[in-house]
Amino acid sequence: MSDLNGPTPSSGLILIAEDEAEIAEILAAYLSRSGMRCVFAANGREALALHNSAKPDLVLLDVQMPEMDGWRVLTEIRLHSNTPVIMLTAMDQDIDKLMGLRIGADDYIVKPFNPAEVVARVQAVLRRSNMRQPQHQPSLLKAAPFLINLQSHEVMVEIGEKTFTLELTLTEFKLLTQLATTPKRVFSRAELLANCLPEGDTLERTVDSHISKLRKKLEKLGIADMPHGVRGVGYRLWS
């Protein structure tokens, strides 16, 4: 498992979710030579269970698997975790690649592939993930009315004497956390896009869509105009 500073490019626990045993064994052999450890899942449900129990540093996720396909597994992972995920697909079509990136994949590899290239891509994604992780991140972030637990990805909302749990997607959580770090600062859409949305999302209007969904969840708790939009610039938490 990774250390407190995150995985280095030549270490880490890799979850290989691949129903073809021969492919999984080849990938594991190459990854092991680079100092990485591997666990295996032969179907989607097993992959999701192993992700939750083993806490891997990266997931190699095949798109076409029995019981639960890779798209659904990725969607479930992204609801609660930012674990790097590389999709393995035999479908060399742009629409399939875009689907994976929009759901939250960090990269994709088209079959048939060179196992050495897979190792290189794994190392690159781990390196990027490690660079994005703060070295000494506090566990709690407070910005009224929110109490954000950065380790468990839980958000509590204090309204009067009552406290509510706010159920957010991973992208909504990232957006709220980014805005809460400096509640009165206006963050541009470009900043929020780069820091909070999955790699491969390049449209700034996608930020507006996620912010709108976040607002609707807050409005149900009686919190209006939060996050606050600044015309032509972006968003800040407090108006």
**Residue that finishes a domain, picked among 132, 159, 180:** 132
Number of domains the chain is built from: 2
The secondary structure of residue 227, as a DSSP letter, is S
Q: Are residues 91 and 69 in the same domain?
A: yes
132: left (phi over 0), alpha (psi -120 to 50) or beta: alpha
What tens digit of pLDDT does each residue of 7-45 get? Answer: 444 468 999 999 999 999 999 999 999 999 999 999 999
When the pLDDT of each residue in the chain is averaged and rounded to a whole number, the result is 85
Q: Are residues 163 and 65 in the same domain?
A: no
Give 234's pLDDT tier (boundaries 50, 70, 90). Answer: very high
Residue 91 belongs to a domain: yes
Q: What is the pLDDT of residue 132?
A: 61
Tell whether the model's pLDDT for residue 136 goes beyond 60.
no
C-alpha to C-alpha distance for 66 and 206, rounded to whole angstroms: 32
| DSSP secondary structure of 83-149 | --EEEEES---HHHHHHHHHHT-SEEEESS--HHHHHHHHHHHHHHHHHHS-TT--SEEEETTEEEE
Mean pLDDT of 191-201: 76
pTM above 0.85? no
What tens digit of pLDDT does each residue of 35-64 get? Answer: 999 999 999 999 999 998 998 999 999 999
Q: Are residues 25 and 127 in the same domain?
A: yes
Residue 6 belongs to a domain: no
Domain assignment of residue 36, given as a range = 13-132
Q: What is the pLDDT of residue 5?
A: 41
